[in-house]
Amino acid sequence: MYVNMKKILLFLFLVLLLGRFAQAGLVWRTESQFIQEGETKCIEYGLYNPGGKDLNIALYVTGDLTKIAQSEKSESVLLKANTLHDNAINKQLCFRAPKNVYQKDCIFPTIGCQQTCQYGNVEYSGDVSTIAEKVGQGSGGQGSSVIIAETAPLSLVVKCEESPRNFSSAYLYGIILIVIIIVFTYIGVKKSKQRKK
C-alpha cells in the first residue's frame, strides 16, 4: 500500500511538472519531404498554448535547414492561455532549394549532358522548434523570458532526377550554324553578282 501511494504521488508530481512546462506546443504532420531544385516549399505547423499565461510564439529553424530557409525565425503569434491542441493556430515556414544542386555530366558545355545521380540525393536536415515569450516580457526584461518549448525534426531531400545524355542542344546549335552559313553564302553570292554588273 505504501509503495503504491509513492507511485501515485510520483505520477501526480510528474503530471504537474510536465503541465508547468507544457507550453508553446507544436503540431507537425511531416518529418521528411522531397523538394525540387529551385523550388520553394512551405510547410505548415500548428501552434498551441495549453499553459495558464498568454504567450508570443514563433517557429525557429536549426541545423542545415538554415541554409535554405527563407527566414530562420517566423513572425510571432499571440496565443491566449489554454489554447489547446485542437485549436492550434497554423503557421508556415518556407524553404527554397538552390537551382543547381547537382552538376550534369556534359561532353561540351550544355551539349550532350546527362544526370546519373551516382552520389544520391542531397539532404538538408535539422529541427523546427517553438520559441515562447511571455506577453509583456520583451528581450529587455529581467531574467530569461524566452524558452524553447517543443521541437520537431525535419528533413528536406532535394530529389535528383536521372536523365540520359541529351543532344537536343547540339541539334539546335547545328541548325543555327546552317542558317548562318546559308545567310552568309547568300550575301556573298549577291555581292558577287553586283560586282559583275
The CATH number assigned to the domain holding 107 equals 2.60.40.10
Residues 108 and 182 in one domain: no
Residues 196 and 107 in one domain: no
Task: Quote the number of domains for the chain.
Answer: 2
Residues 194 and 157 in one domain: no
DSSP string, 8-52: HHHHHHHHHHHHHH--SEEE-S-SEEEE-TT-EEEEEEEEEB-SS
Question: Looking at residue 5, what is its pLDDT?
Answer: 56
Question: Looking at residue 128, what is its pLDDT?
Answer: 96
Residues 196 and 109 in one domain: no
Question: Looking at residue 15, what is its pLDDT?
Answer: 38
| Cell numbers standing for residue 94 | 518556407
Question: Looking at residue 129, what is its pLDDT?
Answer: 93
Residue 185 phi, psi (nearest 5): -65, -45
Residues 160 and 179 in one domain: no
Q: Give every residue of the chain whose pLDDT is below 70, as ranges.
A: 1-23, 108-112, 136-146, 165-174, 188, 190-197
Domain limits for position 53: 2-166
**128, 133, 126: which is closest to 24 by C-alpha?**
133
Question: Looking at residue 105, what is its pLDDT?
Answer: 75
Residues 113 and 193 in one domain: no
